[in-house]
Structure formats: C-alpha cells, structure tokens
Structure 1
Amino acid sequence: MKISFKKTYKFAVKSALYISLFATAFVVLLQYLFYKKTHENLVFFAIVFLIVCYLFSFLVLQYRVERFIYRRVKKIYDEVSLLESTSLLNQPITTDMETLSREVKKFATEKKLEIEMLEIREAYRREFLGNVSHELKTPLFTVQGYISTLLDGAMDDKVIRKKYLKRAENGVERLIYIVEDLDMITKLESGDLNLEVTDFDIVALIQNVFDLLEMKSSSKNIKLTFEKKYMQPILVKGDRDRIQQVLENLIVNSIKYGKEDGLTEVSIVNLTKKKVLIRISDNGEGVEKQNIGRLFERFYRVDKSGSRSEGGSGLGLAIVKHIIEAHNEKVYVESEYGIGSDFSFTMEKAIKKEKTPKHPKS
C-alpha cells in the first residue's frame, strides 16, 4: 500500500505558535533580566528567535504527529487486511482523520451488510434443508411402511401384495420426481444446463400442453382455453422443451389451486417488435399479498398442508423462474386472494425468414 499524507497542518500550526510565543517571551525576559539588553536589540532578538523557534517547532510537531498517527493507522490497516475482501485494502493509508473516519464508517457499513446477508442465507439454508428433509421423508416413510407390511406376511396375499407394491412404486416415483427437479435447479443455477435454442410456434406448443393436461384438468372440471383464437403461428426463440416445462408447471399450478368448474386461460400479447408476453390466468384461490414475493422460492408453499396432498415436488415455480432467467427473460406474477392469479413471462420473437421469389426460367 502506498503512503498518502493529507496534511491540514492545523494542529502543528497552532501548537508551534503557542510554543514559540512562550519560548520567545521567556528568553527575552531572561535576556533583559540578566544581560540588560537595549530595547532595539531585544526586539530584533525576539523576532529572529520567534521565527526560528516557530519553524523548528512546526516541523518537529508536524513530522512527529504524522508519524505517530501513521504508525497506529497502519496497524489498523494491517489488522483489517486479514479480511481479504475488505475495500480498505484498495485504499492508500491516510492520516487525515476525516478521511479515515469516512473510510472506517464505510467499512463498518459493508461488514454489517455482509453479516446481515449471511444471517439471511443461513436462515434460508436451514429452511431449505428442513423442506428437503420433509419432502423426502414423506415418500420414504410411505415406501418403507408398505415394504415392511409385505415382509411381515402380507406378501402372501396377492391382492394386498399388488396394491402395496403399486403404492410403493408411486412413492419411489415421487422421490425420483423430487430428485430430478433438484438436479435441474442445481444445473440451472450453476449454468451447466445447455439450452437448445430454436424457433418454434408458441401457439402450437401451448395447445400441445393443453392436450397433455386434459385429463388432469377434467378431474376438477377446469377448462383450459386460449383467450382468443390465434389464426397464424407465433414464432418465438428459445429451448422448446424447457419452455414446454415452464408452461406445464404454470398450468398444473393453476389446476392444482383452481376451483371446481374453474377456468385457466392463456393469452399471448405483443409487447414490442422483439418481445411477446405469455400469460396464464386462472380464477382459483389466489395468493395473499404477503406470500407473493416468495412464490418462486424452492419448496415454498402457500398452503402448507393442502398443497402437499396435491402432489408435486414444491419446486415447480422455482424451476420456471430459473428456466426463464436462463433465457434472459422475465417472469411476473399478479394475484388477488379469492379472485385468481396471473403468471406471465416474456419471450423473444423469432425473425421470420422471407422467402426469396423464384424467377421463371427463360
């Protein structure tokens, strides 16, 4: 670190003046008492002595005070340098108290923010581990219970054996579903999941998702529909499979929390020349305002009891957020409790390739 003295000299100027005045008056008095000098000689002697004494005092005081402060400030910098991430390491050592105070205050504020962030992350980590434990524990205990029952003698009954093995299989499938979703989120967060970007028709993709989820929506008599008829294909740019997963997660979410005889409606809005907005609206339960900000957190559930009975890994919306952000797009949510919810995300339009006219052969 380079040394940078920012000197105000105020302390040295005043201190040197006080010392010089006192020393000059005292010496002049001694000269008058012991040597009986004339008035003119005493004045000349006093002026010369005052100047020399003042300059000497000023230089000594300024140098000594600066070195004294510098040594102690440098010790503070050296101790703080143990924290490699501190911004003080990039600053020159200063002995100016105002500058030093400002830098220390900035350093303390940064450390306070880091501590608060670490506390938030630690609380999130504990909550996340608790949620993972709970999500995995339920199907594990279910599988263990059915297998233990079979081993205890129920295996001899063909009907019970088939039924319990089927339920155990469902529990294993749920475990696989959770683990696969966790693996996908990990890849998305680390950037290891490569997107295969192509041009595709978003209208056809949404219709395909409707067909896949038709039976699930019929079980609650929820109608899946477009807001209006789209007569022409709407081409967008992205990873078709991942966007299909986004649509499936959002529409399944609307079915899961939808009301009997409800409606899930999808609309495609032209935002700009380069962007479209895909909106999934429902007239289901809706979400209370205090919960909206946490909807995209892993394992966060608004309804801690009922939503688990509906199945799912609790990772659907978190995956939606990560996939959309991997496309450098945005995802939005609006909801009113008891009225319904709107989830939407942006997509980049694909550039339509103009067909070159064929020239007739001459």
Structure 2
Amino acid sequence: MLSNSKILPVLLALWTGVITACFFSLYTDISQLYILGATVIVFVLTYLLYYLVFEHLIFTEIHKLYTLLTKVKKKDYELTKGELVKVEDPLSRLHEEIVDFASRKEQEITELKKLETFRREFLADVSHELKTPIFAAQGFIHTLIDGAIEDEGVRDKFLTKAANNLDSLNVLVEDLLTISQLEIGEIKMQCQNFDIHRLAEDIFEQLEETAGRRGVKLRFHKHTPRSCYIYADKYRIGQVLTNLIVNGIKYGKERGNITVSFNYQNDYVFVSVQDDGPGIESRHLNRIFERFYRVEKSRSKDKGGTGLGLAIVKHILEAHDSKIYVSSIMGEGTIFSFKLRKGKVINEKG
C-alpha cells in the first residue's frame, strides 16, 4: 500500500505533465523553455496534490478501516469512539459504522456474559432451594420405611414434616413458574376497576392469624381514604400486597405495626406498605428484588418463604408499567411503594 501511494501519484502527475506539454506545443509562438518550465511546475503541483489525496484522504483512511476490520475479525470490539469525526465523506462514515458495529457487539458480549453469570447463579440457587425440601422429605419417608412407621407417634410426626416440606416444594415450584411466565410475557394482566382499599381489607383478614402469632398489627394510615379505585389486575395486585405485607410480618418488629396507605396524585394512586422493623442496610436495597437474594442467609430459611416474593412483586408491577421502590432506615423500618393507574369509581349500589 505504501509503494502504491507514492508510485500512483508520480504516474498520474507524469501523465498530466505530458498532456500539458502536448497542449502548449500546439502554440508555435511559445518557446520550448516555457513549455518545459510549465510542464515541470504542473508535474510538481499535480504530484503534491495527488500524493496528498491518495496518502492522507484515501490510503490513510483505508488503512484505518483495514485495522478496524482486523480487530473485528479477531473479535476485538473494544474500539475508541472518541476518535470519530462527524463528516460526510463515505470513508469516514464507513469508519464510523464499523466502530458503531463493534461497540454494539461489545455491548452484546457484555450482556451475554452477564446473562451467563446470572444463569449459573440461578441454577445453583434453584438446585439449593429444591434440594432442601426434597432431602428433608426423603429423609423422613426413608426413616419410616426403615421401621419407624410401626411407632404411631413417630409416624404421624414424620409424615407431617414430610408433607410440610413437600408443600414448601410445591410453593417454590409455583413461584418459579409464575416468575418465568411473567418474564416471557405469558401472563397477561387482566385489568379492571376495583377498590384497592377493600382488597387490602380482605388481605388483612386472611393474614390476621399469621400477624397475630408475632403480635403484629395491620392497619391503614390515618389519612388513607376509605375507598380508592385503581385500574389494574386485581388478582396480581393482591399478590403484590400479600407478598409485601407477609414480608413485613416475617422480618418486621415483633409486636410491631404494618401500615398501608393510598394517596391520589393526578392520574395515579400511590401505594405504600411500611413496617417499623429493624430496617435493611443500604448495600442490600438494590438487590433485594433479585431471585433468591437474602439479606441474611438464614432469614428466609428460618421464617419460611421461597426467596421469590419480592422478585414476583417487581415483575407484576413492571407488567403494569410501574416500578417498586424501597427506602429503609436502620432501626426505624422499611417502606415499599409503587404507583398504579387511577380507576373509575364504581357505583356498587346501582
């Protein structure tokens, strides 16, 4: 390429000089010395012009493109976009396109690496979560098979424990199916107008016994309206509220309070679920909605749960074009909040 960039301008300049000399020779009144001088000047100027064009505007750019393509061929997508200049000439635009292509490929590779890491972690977590109830139930049943079934007291106790572990396994599988279906969009939100205040009251009644065992009071904020209509999937929002309230019962303060509030703001209803428990450290707040993530390794194990509740909450709200927010102060409690579209008030008497 280097030899071509120098030889080609010489040949073109020489050809231009010859044409110039032939042109001036047509005039008989022009001296040979003048023709020679003009030819030399045209040759030199033409050579410099061609050399500049080929060397700096063509061959240099082609060399850059060749270098970029070599990197792309070697799957080296870490190219510098800062060197680009926004110009209209085709070579520079092609240069820009290659760099842009390489940047997109680099982003895709980074995302694929993240997904691969996530997949490995997810498989490890699922295997661990499934192993615990399966091995526990297996141990109880094998103990009964080995002869303990003859003891009525041991038999009933072990069968109950095996059944509890299998129930936990069933809940885990159902939660895994739910979150998988939500992620791929298989579950569609069946939106309707309904009173979320009444829905929360029903959930309070369902969880009254669970909350009572820890002395936790379920209540509404004093400024919450007696009725509050939203437009959403009633069943799925029920899941969201249930998961958040159950989470507060398990990890909040014993003999504490869980406060639910609804507030109208323009075309939305802002919902919050607050506990007065020990709080969550800030380093955990960005990760608590990940599947199987545990603030404390033993928390969910000791208090039940699949580790998928908050992940399901996140996906359900995203399907409603919303987002879950969390704020927490150590020693004071945690607040989960989100917004939903305001619904039309239904006249249930009519």
- The answer to whether the Cα contact below 8 Å between 1:70 and 1:95 also exists between their aligned partners in 2 is no
**SS, match of residue 191 in structure 1:** coil
Structure 1's 354 and 235: CA in aligned 2 closer, same or farther, altered over 3 A?
same
**What does residue 44 of structure 1 align with?**
35
Between Structure 1 and Structure 2, how many residues are aligned?
321
What displacement does 1:56 show?
7.5
Q: Do structure 1's residue 227 and structure 2's residue 221 form an aligned pair?
A: yes
Structure 1's 20 and 204: CA in aligned 2 closer, same or farther, altered over 3 A?
closer
**What does residue 8 of structure 1 align with?**
none
**What does residue 275 of structure 1 align with?**
268
- The answer to whether the Cα contact below 8 Å between 2:224 and 2:261 also exists between their aligned partners in 1 is no
* Deviates further, 52-61 or 205-214: 52-61
- The answer to whether the Cα contact below 8 Å between 1:12 and 1:58 also exists between their aligned partners in 2 is no
**What does residue 204 of structure 1 align with?**
198
Cα separation, 2, equivalents of 1:102 and 1:236:
49
Runs of 5+ in structure 1 lacking a partner?
1-10, 25-38, 86-93, 358-362
Q: Do structure 1's residue 122 and structure 2's residue 138 form an aligned pair?
A: no
Cα separation, 2, equivalents of 1:211 and 1:157:
39
Pick the aligned partner of 1:289 from 282, 291, 294. 282
**What does residue 29 of structure 1 align with?**
none
Q: Do structure 1's residue 317 and structure 2's residue 310 form an aligned pair?
A: yes
Structure 1's 95 and 202: CA in aligned 2 closer, same or farther, altered over 3 A?
closer
Matches within 5 A, 1:32-111: 41-51=32-42, 55=46, 66=58, 73=65, 80=72, 96=91, 102-111=96-105
What displacement does 1:235 show?
1.2
Amino acid at match of 1:312: G
Structure 1's 176 and 354: CA in aligned 2 closer, same or farther, altered over 3 A?
closer
**What does residue 190 of structure 1 align with?**
184
- The answer to whether the Cα contact below 8 Å between 1:251 and 1:280 also exists between their aligned partners in 2 is yes
Q: Do structure 1's residue 343 and structure 2's residue 339 form an aligned pair?
A: no
Runs of 5+ in structure 2 lacking a partner?
18-29, 78-88
What displacement does 1:261 show?
1.2
What displacement does 1:178 show?
0.4
Q: Do structure 1's residue 331 and structure 2's residue 324 form an aligned pair?
A: yes
What displacement does 1:300 show?
0.7
- The answer to whether the Cα contact below 8 Å between 2:243 and 2:313 also exists between their aligned partners in 1 is yes
* Deviates further, 180-189 or 226-235: 226-235
**What does residue 256 of structure 1 align with?**
250
- The answer to whether the Cα contact below 8 Å between 2:68 and 2:99 also exists between their aligned partners in 1 is no
Cα separation, 2, equivalents of 1:231 and 1:72:
67
Amino acid at match of 1:343: F
Q: Do structure 1's residue 218 and structure 2's residue 209 form an aligned pair?
A: no
Deviation sequence 1:128-186 (CA, Å, 0-9, x none): 11111111111011001001100100011122111111111111111110000010011
**What does residue 163 of structure 1 align with?**
157
**SS, match of residue 198 in structure 1:** strand
Cα separation, 2, equivalents of 1:120 and 1:75:
29
**What does residue 128 of structure 2 align with?**
134
What displacement does 1:58 show?
5.6
Cα separation, 2, equivalents of 1:51 and 1:231:
91
Amino acid at match of 2:35: F
Deviation sequence 1:285-319 (CA, Å, 0-9, x none): 21100100011111111011132111111000000
Structure 1's 119 and 71: CA in aligned 2 closer, same or farther, altered over 3 A?
closer
**SS, match of residue 121 in structure 2:** helix
**What does residue 243 of structure 1 align with?**
237
- The answer to whether the Cα contact below 8 Å between 2:290 and 2:310 also exists between their aligned partners in 1 is yes
- The answer to whether the Cα contact below 8 Å between 1:280 and 1:344 also exists between their aligned partners in 2 is yes
What displacement does 1:213 show?
0.6
Matches within 5 A, 1:143-158: 143-158=137-152
Q: State TM-score, norm by structure 1.
A: 0.76
**What does residue 4 of structure 1 align with?**
none
Structure 1's 267 and 76: CA in aligned 2 closer, same or farther, altered over 3 A?
closer
What displacement does 1:20 show?
6.1
* Deviates further, 155-164 or 289-298: 155-164
- The answer to whether the Cα contact below 8 Å between 1:73 and 1:95 also exists between their aligned partners in 2 is no
CA RMSD of aligned residues (A): 3.9
- The answer to whether the Cα contact below 8 Å between 1:16 and 1:54 also exists between their aligned partners in 2 is no
Deviation sequence 1:47-81 (CA, Å, 0-9, x none): 13442575488669957994897599479659958
